[in-house]
Amino acid sequence: MVFISHYSVEILDARTKEQLCFLDKVSRTSIREIQFYASHRTGFPKGNVLKDDEVLQNLPVGTTAKLYFRDLGPQLGWTMVFLLEYVGPLLIYLLFYFRVPYIYTHKYTFTSSPHPVVSLACACHSFHYIKRLVETIFVHRFSHGTMPLRIMNCAYYWGFAAWLAYYINHPLYTPPCKSDEYSVFLFQLCEAGNFSIHWSLNSLIGEGPKCRRFPHPSKNPFTWLFFFVSCPNYTYEVGVWLSFSIMTQCVPVALFTLLGFVQMTMWAKGKHKAYVREFKDYPTLRMSILPFIL
C-alpha cells in the first residue's frame, strides 16, 4: 500500500464541470476542513455526498483528488428544523383550546369545553410535543449537520395540528363514547416506550462512528420490542397517535395517524434494509415496524 502525504484537491462544479477551486499540498485532512477552506459542500459526481468526518487519505483517490461541488441551497441545522416542526403544533393547539378570538364565534371566546376528554386531549397533545422538544435538545444526535431550508415539514405538522385542534376544541364537539381511561393508559405506555427507544439509540450513537453495531434489547422492558422490529420508535409513535384517535374519536386525528403510519413505515423499511445490508448477522425474525406483519 502506498501512503500519500500530500494531495492536490480540485473542486469542480458538478453540473458544468467548471473548476471552482484548487487546493495544493493538502495533507491528511477531513472533508469538513476542505469545505472550510473551499467554502463549498462537496460530493462525488454520482451524487454521493461525502460525510464531514471522512478523511481524504481513506477515499479512493490518487495524488490529485477531484471533488464535485453541488449547491444544496440555504441550509438549517437539524436541531432547529425539529424545534420549528414541534413548537408550532404545541402553540397552535393551545390557541384553539383556549378559544382565542376569531377562531370560533364571539360568544365562545375564552370559554372552556364541558367535556373532560377535551382537556385531557390537550394535556396529552401538549405533553407529546414538549417531550419531542426535550428529546430534540437533549437526546437526539444527528448524523448530518444541516438540511435544505424548506417549509414542507412545518406545513404538514402545523396544518394538521390546526385541523384536528379545530374539531376537538369546537364548541359543538361531543365525544361519541367514554373511552379515555384505556386510551390514556395506552398513550402513556407508548410515550414511555418511544422515549426509551430514543434513549437507547442515543446511547448507541454515543459510542462513536467506529463502533458500528445494530441496536439490541436491554434490561428496559420497552426495548424488548427490538426482538421483533427494527424501528420500535416508530411502532410506539404509531401507538401514541392510535391511542389519541381512540381518545378523541375525531376523523382528522385518525387521518393524521394513518398518514403518519404510512410515512413511518417507509422510513422503517429503509432503515431495516440498511441494517440487513450492513450486518450479516442481523436477526431474521425482525420486521420493519409491526411484529410478524410488516
Q: Tens digits of per-residue pLDDT, 145-169? A: 555 555 567 888 999 999 999 999 9
Query: For position 72, what pLDDT does the model report?
Result: 56
CA-wise closest residue to 173 among 89, 95, 108, 128: 108
What is the amino acid identity at position 234? Y
Report the SS3 class of residue 19. strand
More confident residue, 54 or 190: 190
Rounded average pLDDT over 171-192: 88
| Phi (first) and psi of residue 116, to 5 degrees | -60, -30
What is the amino acid identity at position 149? L
pLDDT tens, position by position, 174-184: 887 776 778 99
Instruction: Return the C-alpha cell found at 30.
Output: 477531513
Structural domains of the chain in order of their starting residue, each with its CATH number: 7-69 (3.10.20.90), 75-278 (no CATH)
Query: For position 63, what pLDDT does the model report?
Result: 60
DSSP state of 221: G
Check pLDDT > 90 for residue 125. Answer: yes
- Write down the mean pLDDT value for the chain: 80
Percent of the chain at pLDDT exceeding 70:
66
Quote the pTM value. Answer: 0.75
